[in-house]
Structure 1
Amino acid sequence: MPTSTTLSVPERTRTPLPGLALCVLLASFGASSANVALPALQHAFGTGFAAVQWIVLAYLLAATAAAVGAGRLGDMIGRRRVLRGGIALFAAASGLCALAPTLPLLVAARALQGLGAAAMLALGMALAAANLPQGRTGSAMGLLGSMSAVGTALGPALGGLLLAGPGWRAVFAATLAPAALALALVRHLPDDAPGRASAPRPPFDLAGLLLLVAALLAFALAATGAGTLARGWLFGAAALGAGLFVRTEARAAAPLVPLALLRDRVLAPSFAMSALAMALMMTTMLVGPFYLGHALGLAPGGVGLTLAAGPLVAALAGVPAGRLVDRHGAHAVCVAGLAAMALGAGLLALAPLRTGVGGWIAPLAVLTAGYALFQAANNTTVMEAAGGARRGVAAGLLNLARQLGMIAGSAVLGAAFAARPRGTAVEVAAATHATFALATLLPLLALLALATAWPGRRARAE
């Protein structure tokens, strides 16, 4: 055994983090880069917007549905093995996207790309937590949060440049070389696959995975644009699927999602808080273009640059946020982050139209910096509370909570924005203010959830 921690820890952790950070960046880039290419794809395939929208939805739905399954599979057969398979699948699917001759094949390839991204996100977080000492978990989570924000911001920017040059196929081909680099970097991770002498593994919970996928698909379709009658049926199907899933998990010998995780006094509130926080962040992406373009009269280029301020702040704040978690503890930083999010959303709800772009960017910076603090603290809490054997499925559930927050935020707060008149600049501003007034409740609800979780967190710390 090594006699010096200061010598052994850096040697063990020097190489894994760059590869894991690149995985998170690529997964986020894949989610955001296709948006900018939708008009060109609509023209290239000669179809309507509703059809090309599935290029984005297929990726998000696949990544959402596979998040928990990828994490659970990693816990069962080895996280490094599943992560490398996810990177390889992501790279192969990127090549298929770049070569796709028809829209249905492109949508199918994007779904495969989303499956790979699910493994990269869930296992990247779990492996980062597993390969660092507990006192540095916050820094790792902060770095991964920064990389997620960089990927989100880089997607539209680099995608736009590639679109203006080589064309839409280059937008998808751009991830091939970085994915190959990520695959090479993660080979330095310790092999965590169970040995041959270990006890026989129980079968993978395929029935649970199929029920979860069906329930999530019905919920996502209901929330993202089905008609009124169809939406009611889809929500009903989602509720039925969720009920059957819980029943199946309660009876399974090796459930996809151990129900104890959803009853845990620390983990369950953390998942709920993640969904609430992501719903608020989704509101800025959903409402922002309308406010900046229609209320403030910015040109499309100005709208894009202004919206990039949020991911830029998140990218800059991620690593310092992680260090604050390591220094002051996850609970204190989580409270500060949620309070800053509530303040930023409240300022967006009150900003007069005459304050212009500055009246949007300043509150957005407060909101986004608060999210960076919250995310680093909450992710650290989940990874430390889950323990070594459950980190994969816990990371998958955390990513699932974020995706559900995005979907629910788009549906509920998007409907609140759409319900108000938006014919003039003043009306668009009023609709924006009303939407953010409602959204301010989300971090306050998260603070309430944190208060209920605090006794459990304190008991674990002791």
Structure 2
Amino acid sequence: MEQQRLWTRDFVLAFLVNLTMSLTFYLLMTSMAGYAIERFGAADSVAGLASSGFIIGALIARVFAGKYLDFIGRRRMILGALVVFVACAALYVPLTGVWAVIAVRVVHGIAFGAGNTAVMAAVQTIIPPARRAEGTGYFGTSTTLATAVGPFLAVVLAQQLGYAAMFLACAVFSVAGLVMALGLRLPERTPTEEERADRWRLTLTSIMDLGALRIASVMLLTGLAYSIVLAFLATHTAQLGAPDAASAFFILFALVMLAARLLVGRIQDRHGDDVVMYPIFALFTLGLVLIALADSGWMIVVAAVPMGLGFGSLFPSAQAIAVTVTAPHRVGLAIATFFIMLDLGTGLGPVVLGTLVPRLGLSGVYLICAGLVVLAAGVYYLFHGRSRGGRPVTHG
């Protein structure tokens, strides 16, 4: 039964490394726009770039990280990313111009995209295949914890101690992650001669995995829908005259999401993908409809339950599918493909769907988002549920 152990030393270390990287991500995403305005008097558009520059960098890195992961080495890529994390955290305070901050944000994002892709791919190699969804769900709680704790710390540190203290906290998290990563023992893979010959040839199939792209397209659609919750829920609750409902929503959302991720993966491993995926789509859709129809703050808060069960479970469940439908030597590409599509959806959503707000109102846009999730369910059925009966395919 040794091969079935999940909570091994390296799994725990990878969990903690991902937690430190994710804490840094959410600390800075929550506060960088405000920092750019307060410190440099930046315009709203420039301040937004100070925040989203990180996502731009992460997307750039993910395009190449999957292809070159095995050439560089998984452990080496994680360590290199965390060294850059420490340097970037130390650079924010002395910088004297907002564009210099934006440049560092892009570099920081590149390090995150590379390091996150590497740690996500590495952990899949140490999760027992028979416990793939369960292990992915447990590992995903590291990001869930960061989602809840990071924004809270950002607000407290920035307001009580100043932005310098917040950047110091990011540096401490980054150093802690680097120290723990030094203890990681990860299985490495040697590229084949054919892969070495094509090392510098960039094609669609060399930077993305087409098998994983099918389930990743589901994440593009659901990422578009979820991004509107992130970007506009505070505005929506303010318009309803219940501004505190947004913070209550995200707290309850994080708690429900954490509980769901501890349970859903085990069900998926035992009973197949369809058993969890279709209820996930239904719950996610219900949450968005409740937000769209809400006429009071308490309805928004109630919507956090189906949203947490739905979107909170979707991420690890779909990621487990992306890995199981991919050959072992392309796991890095599969992980990169998965996050590229998710990041594209999350990044483009506020821009693309935000243009509809003046004409449809936020309620109308949330209903469109519910429709996107229904469409995602159809895409899932077409690309996975119909052909495989929702059964995961385990390699190795």
TM-score, structure 2 normalization? 0.89
- Describe the shift of the 1:19–1:98 C-alpha distance in structure 2 as closer, same or farther (beyond 3 A): farther
Deviation at 1:9, TM superposition (A): 4.8
Q: Deviations over 1:373-411 (max 9, x none)?
A: 222221111111112111111101111011111123212
**1:417 matches 2:357:** yes
Q: CA separation in 2, counterparts of 1:64 and 1:309?
A: 29
Matched letter for residue 190 of structure 1: L
Quote the residue 1:457 is aligned against.
388
Q: Deviations over 1:30-79 (max 9, x none)?
A: 33323335334322223322222222121010011211311221133322
How far is the alpha carbon of 1:172 from its aligned partner? Answer: 2.3
Q: Does 1:333 find its partner at 2:276?
A: yes
Distance 1:175 1:18, change over 3 A: farther
Q: Which residue of 2 aligns with 1:436?
A: 366
Deviation of 1:273 after TM superposition, in Å, equals 0.4
- Determine the structure 1 residue equivalent to 2:117: 122
- Look up the match of 1:179: 174
* Aligned match for 1:401, one of 337, 341, 362: 341
376, 390, 396: which one aligns with 1:446: 376
Structure 1 equivalent of residue 297 of structure 2: 357
Given the alignment, which residue of 246, 270, 289 partners 1:346? Answer: 289
Map residues 180-259 of structure 1 onto 2, 5 A cutoff. Answer: 180-186=175-181, 187-194=183-190, 201-202=196-197, 204-205=199-200, 208=202, 249=203, 256-257=206-207
CA RMSD of aligned residues (A): 2.6
**Are the equivalent residues in 2 in contact too, given 1:310–1:364 (CA < 8 A)?**
yes
SS of the counterpart of 2:206? coil
Offset of residue 150 of structure 1:
2.1
What is the rounded CA distance, in whole Å, between the counterparts of 1:193 and 1:382 in structure 2? 19
Is the CA contact (8 Å cut-off) linking 1:20 and 1:182 kept in structure 2? no
Paired residue for 1:242? none
In the TM superposition, what is the alpha-carbon distance from 1:317 to its structure 2 partner?
A: 2.1
Moved more, 377-386 or 99-108: 99-108
Could you tell me how far 1:107 is from its partner in structure 2? Answer: 1.6
Q: Counterpart in 2 of 1:82? A: 77
- Residue in 1 that maps onto 2:237: 292
Q: Partner amino acid for 1:257?
A: I
Q: How does 1:311-330 map to 2 (within 5 A)?
A: 311-330=254-273
Q: What amino acid maps onto 2:337 in structure 1?
A: L
Residue in 1 aligned with 2:49?
54
The structure with more radius of gyration: 1
Residue 317 of structure 2 is aligned to residue 387 of structure 1: no
Partners of 1:94 and 1:36 lie apart in 2 by 13
CA contact (8 A) 1:336 1:374 kept: no
Q: What is the distance in 2 between the residues matched to 1:288 and 1:460?
A: 35
Contact 1:37 1:163 in 2 (8 A): no
- The alpha-carbon deviation at position 199 of structure 1 amounts to 7.7
Does the 8 Å CA contact 2:90/2:168 hold for their aligned counterparts? Answer: yes
Measure the CA separation in 2 of the matches of 1:39 and 1:77.
36
Question: Which of 233, 247, 258 is 1:304 aligned to?
Answer: 247
2:228: which partner in 1? Answer: 283
Judged with a 3 Å threshold, the aligned counterparts in structure 2 of structure 1 residues 190 and 198 are, in CA distance, closer, same or farther, namely: farther
For the residue of structure 2 that corresponds to 1:47, the secondary structure is coil
Matches within 5 A, 1:89-104: 89-104=84-99
Amino acid at match of 1:415: T
| 1:366 to partner: Cα distance | 0.3
* Cα distance change of structure 1 residues 414 and 308 upon mapping to structure 2, 3 Å threshold: farther
| Counterpart Cα distance in 2 of 1:350 and 1:39 | 31
Moved over 4 A (4+): 197-200, 458-462
Alpha carbons 2:237, 2:246 under 8 Å: kept:
yes
1:132 aligns with 2:127: yes
Q: Which structure 2 residue ranges, 5 or more long, are not aligned?
A: none
AA in 2 matched with 1:337: I
Distance of 2:213 and 2:246 partners within structure 1: 37
Pairwise CA distance, 1:310: 2.4
Q: Per the alignment, in what secondary structure is the counterpart of residue 175 of structure 1?
A: helix
Q: Distance in 2 between matches of 1:169 and 1:161?
A: 12
Offset at residue 337 of structure 1 (A): 0.8
1:114 positional shift: 0.7
Aligned residue number for residue 423 of structure 1: none
Contact 1:37 1:160 in 2 (8 A): no
2:238 aligns to what SS in structure 1?
helix
Q: Distance between the aligned counterparts of 1:51 and 1:415, measured in 2?
A: 19
Taking the aligned partners of 2:193 and 2:179, their CA distance within structure 1 comes to 28
Residues 142 and 38 of structure 1, relative CA distance in 2, 3 Å threshold:
same
How far has the Cα of 1:137 moved from its partner? 1.4
Q: 2:18 aligns with which of 5, 20, 24?
A: 24
Question: Post-superposition shift, 1:460?
Answer: 7.4
Number of residue pairs matched by the alignment: 390
Deviations 1:330-387 (A, max 9, x none): 2321122112111222222333x1xx22200112220221112222221111111112
Structure-1 separation of matches of 2:218 and 2:274: 13
Q: Which amino acid aligns with 1:444?
A: V
- For the residues of structure 2 that align with 1:125 and 1:331, how far apart are their CA atoms? 23
Q: Greater shift after overlay, 394-403 or 281-290? A: 281-290
Cα distance in 2 between the residues matched to 1:46 and 1:416: 29
Contact 1:90–1:114 under 8 Å retained in 2: no
Q: CA deviation at 1:141?
A: 1.5
Instruction: Give the letter aligned to residue 298 of structure 1.
Output: P
Contact 2:252–2:305 (Cα < 8 Å) also in 1: yes
- Structure 2 residue identity aligned to 1:439: C
- State the alpha-carbon separation in 2 of the partners of residues 290 and 19 from structure 1: 39
Determine the C-alpha separation between the residues in 2 that align with 1:333 and 1:180.
38
| Equivalent residue letter for 1:32 | Y
Percent of aligned positions with the same letter in both sequences? 19
- How far 1:178 moved relative to its partner? 2.5
Q: Which residue of 2 aligns with 1:163?
A: 158
